[in-house]
Amino acid sequence: MLGTGTPTCAGCGALENIKIFCDILGEKTVFVNAAGCMTLLTVYPFTPFRGSWLYTAMASAPAGAQGVRDALDLLIRDGRLAPEEYLAVVVLTGDGTAYGMGLSATSAAIYRKLDFIYICYDNEGYGNTGYQFSAATPYAARTATSKGPRGYRGYKKDLFAIWAAHRPAYVATVIGTEPADLARKIEKAKGLRGPRLFIALSPCPTGWQFEPAKTVEIGKLAVKTGIWPLKEYLDGKVVHTRIPPPRGRRPPVEEYLKRQGRFTHLFSPTRNEEILKDIQASVDAYWEGVI
């Protein structure tokens, strides 16, 4: 469905997600895209999309989606567009937008029960501008703006919980390297109306600093080690769709970390036991809270 010949990096984990979304959502879509790496998918006169696409400023993609939705609904109401020509409105933004400057517009759109799908491809930083940290950057990661020996001093914001607290129709965390789980969740959301939101972890060879060939391996480790929980929110309940083996039997989180250049300072020249323990402890605590 999504055309080839896009300018994303070789091995881009965000594209891996979007490819699957497009396959399932089909061409009857209007993408409303805030500034970020994926804006470059459509650079005049080239686009990989088969449906429509619109560009907005970083903070205002959900507001743009509201305008498009309203216009389409009015056209259908006035008989100028056949009901079969219904187009789904899909917001596509990075984490910089979703976790940061676009959060307020998203909150308002969910509050108004806007009928839209939101895809946040989460590469855990400002990829398009050279990988500075964002509110989605994990603790201790090195970015262009957290280069010290301990990396990023903040913690990744829990956007899933924030979005779910608004009680939208659907929220899910996904990853393109678990295509069956992702496809099932998109199908489910497609059958619903109202705000349906996705956070798609997107291993980024360029920002996370690993060989492009390893995107899938690293994505799978994010799920196996438990650092990226796959879950969904529906009808007031949160369900985990993939539960890793219990502590001790699941691979330690450092298996995931040590394959990425953005965490090398935790392993060399000397191991930073304290930070590694902290990260493992937070993953363990999360899953203890679930089971």
CA distance 215 to 209: 10
Residues 205-224 that bind ligand SF4 (CB under 6 A): 205-207
Stretch that binds another protein, among 48-56, 72-80, 113-121, 281-289 (CB under 8 A): 48-56
Tell me phi and psi for residue 24, to 5 degrees. Answer: -90, -40
Nearer of residues 104 and 129 to ligand TPP, judged by Cβ: 129
Give me the least distance between CB of 237 and ligand SF4, in Å please: 32
DSSP 8-class letter at 36: S
The arrangement of strands across the sheet holding 29-34 comes to: 52-56, 29-34, 88-94, 116-122, 195-201, 170-175, 230-234, 237-242
Give me the least distance between CB of 156 and another protein, in Å please: 22
Give me the least distance between CB of 102 and ligand TPP, in Å please: 8
DSSP 8-class letter at 153: -
Nearer of residues 200 and 275 to ligand TPP, judged by Cβ: 200
Give me the least distance between CB of 185 and Mg ion, in Å please: 21
Identified binder of another protein from the candidate list 248, 268, 289, 291, rule CB under 8 A: 268
Helix, strand, coil percent values for the chain (each to nearest 5): 40, 20, 40
Q: Would you count residue 138 as binding ligand SF4 (CB under 6 A)? A: no
> What count of Cα atoms within 13 Å lies in the side-chain half-sphere of residue 117?
27
Q: To which H or E segment does residue 114 belong? A: none
Residues 8-67 that bind ligand SF4 (CB under 6 A): 8-9, 12, 14, 37
Give me the least distance between CB of 82 and ligand TPP, in Å please: 36
CA distance 231 to 238: 7
Q: Would you count residue 227 as binding ligand SF4 (CB under 6 A)? A: no
**Upstream peptide bond of 251 is cis (omega within 30 degrees of 0):** no
Identified binder of ligand TPP from the candidate list 11, 64, 127, 219, rule CB under 6 A: 127
Number of residues lying near Mg ion (CB under 5 A): 5
* Amino acid identity for residue 289 in this structure: G
Q: Would you count residue 184 as binding another protein (CB under 8 A)? A: no
Contact 37, 94 (CB under 8 A): yes
Nearer of residues 81 and 135 to ligand TPP, judged by Cβ: 135
In the complex, the residues that contact ligand SF4 under the rule CB under 6 A are 8-9, 12, 14, 37, 123, 127, 202, 204-207
